[in-house]
């Protein structure tokens, strides 16, 4: 693990690191904020998954999470959204595919299979590295994210309910199998058999029997992607009668930007802290 930068913030340390990933066959960069409490005892960890076109840097620079994370004693890990590098396949004119658009899945179709193994990277390789390098209580993990990252957080939680105690999302893509800005990417990554897509679709996972205790979703009503890409009401319908708790908050005049995310970041951190103990 290489240290790219470290900066003191709110008594804790914001670091950016890189390592050679076997899952993605390239170097991966990620950010970790360590609160002051972690100098004396292991702390719970909260994974933040970013959205399309983003890297680890977007939430690190605009998410405004450090003050509250330091107060609550939360370690915040911010992975990248996809593999990077000159040898990694990409679609240069398509922001919904390739670099910056890994969708937190394991690709099965060429030329994407060698590098785009983001589900394995996020759920196996990176947690192993983080657990070795930082003072973390790995029995207390939560996950949240924005947009494509909200999709990733929800599907990862639904598939790993024994690992994660909490999950929330800002403007998530709740049904990417049928959303106009994710279905084409799913076909390229996973092939034309839509049955294979269901393991990476929150609504489909619930329909197929996956369960998680509860979710918090915040969504802006002025979000330009609301009607065709996000559609949180589909998840609200999917969880009816399942025992899955859902707090869905719709906010007037808020859009899809980090102005929206930073406004409700403290709410999400407190929500996770209550469930992580």
| 223 carries an active-site annotation | yes
| 256 carries an active-site annotation | yes
Evaluate the omega torsion of the peptide bond into residue 111 and state whether it is cis, within 30 degrees of 0: yes
pLDDT tens by residue, 31-67: 999 999 999 999 999 999 999 999 999 999 999 999 9
Give 199: exposed, middle or buried? Use CB within 10 Å, 0-12, 13-18, 19+: middle
pLDDT surpassing 90 at residue 181 = no
Give 104: exposed, middle or buried? Use CB within 10 Å, 0-12, 13-18, 19+: buried
CA distance 274 to 93: 43
Q: Which among 147, 166, 168, 182 is annotated as catalytic?
A: 147
Length of the chain: 277
Residues 170 and 147 sit within 8 Å (Cβ to Cβ)? yes
Q: Which among 146, 256, 268, 272 is annotated as catalytic?
A: 256
Q: What is the pTM assigned to this prediction? A: 0.97
Residues 119 and 187 sit within 8 Å (Cβ to Cβ)? no
pLDDT tens by residue, 234-253: 999 999 999 999 999 999 99
Q: Which among 177, 223, 268, 272 is annotated as catalytic?
A: 223
CB atoms under 10 Å from CB of 195, counted, come to 10
pLDDT tens by residue, 71-109: 999 999 999 999 999 999 999 999 999 999 999 999 999
Residues 264 and 218 sit within 8 Å (Cβ to Cβ)? yes
| 146 carries an active-site annotation | no
CA distance 227 to 110: 31
């Amino acid at each position: 693990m290489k240290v790219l930068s470290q900066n003191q913030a709110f008594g804790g340390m914001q670091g950016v690191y890189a390592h050679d990933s076997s899952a993605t066959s390239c170097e991966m960069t990620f950010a970790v904020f360590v609160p002051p409490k972690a100098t004396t005892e292991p702390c719970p960890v909260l994974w933040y998954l970013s959205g399309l076109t983003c890297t680890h840097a977007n939430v690190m620079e605009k998410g405004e999470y450090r003050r509250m994370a330091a107060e609550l004693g939360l370690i915040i890990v911010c992975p990248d959204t996809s593999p990077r590098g000159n040898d990694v396949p990409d679609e240069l004119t398509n922001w919904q595919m390739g670099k910056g658009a890994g969708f937190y899945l394991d690709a099965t179709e060429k030329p994407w299979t060698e590098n785009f193994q983001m589900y394995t990277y996020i759920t196996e390789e990176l947690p192993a590295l983080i657990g070795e390098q930082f003072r973390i209580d790995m029995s207390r993990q939560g996950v949240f994210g924005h947009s494509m990252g909200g999709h990733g957080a929800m599907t990862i939680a639904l598939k790993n309910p024994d690992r994660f105690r909490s999950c929330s999302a800002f403007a998530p893509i709740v049904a990417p199998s049928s959303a106009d800005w994710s279905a084409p990417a799913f076909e390229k990554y996973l092939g034309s058999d839509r049955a294979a897509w269901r393991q990476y679709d929150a609504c489909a996972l619930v329909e197929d029997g996956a369960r998680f205790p509860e979710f918090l979703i915040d969504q802006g009503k002025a979000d330009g992607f609301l009607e065709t890409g996000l559609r949180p009401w589909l998840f609200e319908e999917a969880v009816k009668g399942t025992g899955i708790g859902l707090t869905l908050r719709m906010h007037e005049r808020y859009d899809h930007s980090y102005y929206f995310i930073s406004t409700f970041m403290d709410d999400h951190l407190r929500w996770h802290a209550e469930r992580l103990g």
